[in-house]
Structure 1
C-alpha cells in the first residue's frame, strides 16, 4: 500500500516514501515504499486538472495573488495516542507542545533555530495553521506495535471529522521508520486511510536522538497536505513539482551547512522540512510550498463531502 513515510535512512520495511534517520541510498528502495516518476506525474496532472476545474487556471502564484486560493486555512486536528498499557502514553502538555511546533513550522517561525549559522534564513509562512479539537488515548498492543498493519481498523475506530480534518496518530512506528502518511490525491476511494502516523518518541522531548523536536509530524503532515520530498525525482523534471525548491539528487542526512547534488541554479534545500535532515536543522518551507498546500487543501479537502473522500 503506497503512502508516504519519514524513516531512519536504513533499508527496513517501509510502507511508502519515507524519511529515515540514516540514508545510504537515494530514496529508491525495492520494497515499493516510494513513488515512481510516473506516479508523481499522474498525481500532479490530477491536481492541475482539479485546480483548473475549480479556479479556471493552474498558475498557483496568480491564483494566490488574486486570493482565489485561500490566503489562510485553519486545519482542525485530532490527536489519537496509542499505547500498549505501559509505553506510548503522552500528557496533554506533550500533545499541545507538538501542535505548537506544527504551528511554528508552518508559520515560518522556526528560523530562530538557524541563529548559529552564517546563513540568513527566510522561512515562509505557509498560511496554514492547526487547531487542536481534541485528543484521546487507546490501549491496544497490536495497534501500538504495528500501526501500519492495523491502519484500517485504527482509523475506522478513531478518526474524527471529514476529509478536511487531520487525524494524527502516535504509536511505536519504529526507529528505522519514523512515520507515514497518505497524499490528498489518494483520499478518494481509500476510506480509512486518510490520517498521519508518527512514532511517539519523535514528539518534542522524545527519546529519539536528533529526531525528537516534533518535526517528524511536520514532515508527514506535509505529505498529507500534498507535498513531495524535495529530492523526489532527483535531478529530473518535475522534481517535487514546486517551482522554488531546487532539484536535489539525494536526501540530506545529518546537519550539513550546504550541499549541491544537481546542476543548475541553487543549492540543495537542506533545511527544508520535506527533506531528511536532523530535526535541529529543519526549519523552513518555501512560499511555493505554502501556495501548493493551500491549493491542495482547497481542491481535495475543503468542502469535499465525506462520502467522496477517505
Structure 2
C-alpha cells in the first residue's frame, strides 16, 4: 500500500527484526524504530532522485560476503557449514529471480567469538565491533552475519537489517544479521527454509513491511500494489482480509511475517522499488 502521511511513518523502521521460536516468542515482530524525520528525509530524497521510466531492463548481480560468528566450532554453537550457506544463496536467488537480482557468494569467513555470537543485536557494542572489523566492500555489496541472538537487544531475534538510505551516514553498520539456525535445514522451524534472509535482504534493498500503515489510506509501504493489511500475519492464514479495501492480505509476500513455507512472492511494485532504491542509494 502506498505511503503518504507523516502521521504513520513514525512506526517505520531503520533496523528491522523478527522473532523465532528460540526463547522469547513464536512469532516475528518489529525491532528498532527509525525516527520519523529520518524516514521522511529518506523518502523525500528518494522521490527527488529515483530513476524514472521503465526499469524492466534492470539487472544486477550482488556480491555477498558471509560472516559466520560462532560461540565455538560446533554446529550448535553457530558454526554452520558451507553447504547451508550455499543453500541459503540458492533460496535467495530463486526468491529474487523475478526481480532480476542475483547474488554471488564471494567469501565466507569464520570467527569464534562467544560475546559477538550471544550479544550482537541492534545498537549493541558487540554488533558495532563485529561489523567494524568484518564488513567488506562498498554500498552495493551485501554483508551477511549469522549469529546466535542469545541476549541483550538481540535476544530471540530472527534477523535485522539496515536500509539503503542509512548507508551514507554509517557505512560500517550496513548489512543483514540473521539467526544462524534460520538457514535452510536449521532448527528454528517454522522459520528454517531461508526466508529470514530473503525478508531481511528486502529491507536492505529498500522495502518496508506490507502491513506498515495498517488500513489507513495515508501510509503504508510506499508500494501501490501491495494490499493494505491491518497487522502482521502469522502462520499461513489463507483468505485473511483485515482491511475494507481492495485485495486480501498479502500473506504470501516475503515482507509479511508468515511462516517460511507460506512466503513465495514480491509484487511487481516491490520489484520496481527494489531496483530504484538500489540505483538511488547503492549505485547498482
Deviation at 1:247, TM superposition (A): 1.0
What displacement does 1:84 show? 0.8
Q: Residues 21 and 39 of structure 1: is their aligned pair in 2 closer, same or farther, counting only changes over 3 Å?
A: farther
Residue 299 of structure 1 corresponds to which residue in structure 2?
280
Structure 1 runs of 4+ aligned residues shifted over 4 Å read: 9-12, 35-40
User: What TM-score, normalized by structure 2, do the two folds share?
Assistant: 0.85
Match of 1:209, SS state, is coil
Q: What is the root-mean-square deviation in Å for CA atoms of aligned residues?
A: 2.3
Q: Which residue of 2 aligns with 1:6?
A: 18
Decide which of 191, 196, 199 is 2:176's aligned counterpart.
196
Deviation at 1:63, TM superposition (A): 3.2
- Determine the C-alpha separation between the residues in 2 that align with 1:138 and 1:44: 37
The 3-state SS of whatever aligns with 2:18 is strand
Shift, 1:43, TM fit: 2.9
1:78 corresponds in structure 2 to 65
Matches within 5 A, 1:9-48: 21-22=26-27, 33-35=32-34, 40-48=39-47
* CA distance 1:5–1:96, change in 2 (3 Å): same
Mapping for residues 1-310 of structure 1, pairs under 5 Å: 2-8=14-20, 21-22=26-27, 33-35=32-34, 40-51=39-50, 55=51, 57=52, 62-64=53-55, 67=57, 71-85=58-72, 86=74, 87-107=77-97, 125-148=98-121, 149=124, 150-174=126-150, 176-236=156-216, 237-302=218-283
What do the CA deviations read for 1:106-146 (whole angstroms, capped 9, x no partner)?
Answer: 12xxxxxxxxxxxxxxxxx1111101111111011111111
Distance 1:230 1:129 in 2: 23
Give the aligned length: 261
- Are 2:20 and 2:188, in contact at CA under 8 Å, matched by a contact in 1? no
TM-score w.r.t. length of structure 1: 0.78
For the 8 Å contact 1:10–1:22, the answer to whether it is kept is: no
Give the drift of 1:262. Answer: 1.3
Gaps of 5+ in 2: 1-12
C-alpha spacing 1:103/1:273, structure 2 compared with 1 (3 Å):
same
SS in structure 1 of the partner of residue 83 of structure 2:
helix
**Partner-residue secondary structure (3-state), 2:78:** coil
Deviations 1:270-289 (A, max 9, x none): 00000000001011111111
Give me the whole-angstrom Cα distance separating, in 2, the residues matched to 1:9 and 1:81. 21
C-alpha separation in 2, matches of 1:80 and 1:191: 17
Residue by residue, what CA displacement relative to the aligned partner does 1:199-254 show, whole Å, maximum 9, x if unpaired? 00100000012000010011011000000000011122231001110111100111
* Equivalent residues of 2:182, 2:192 under 8 A apart: yes
C-alpha spacing 1:186/1:11, structure 2 compared with 1 (3 Å): farther
CA contact (8 A) 1:8 1:21 kept: yes
SS at structure 1 position matched to 2:172: coil
Give yes or no for contact 2:20–2:191 (8 Å, CA) kept in 1: no
Residue 37 (structure 1) shift: 6.1
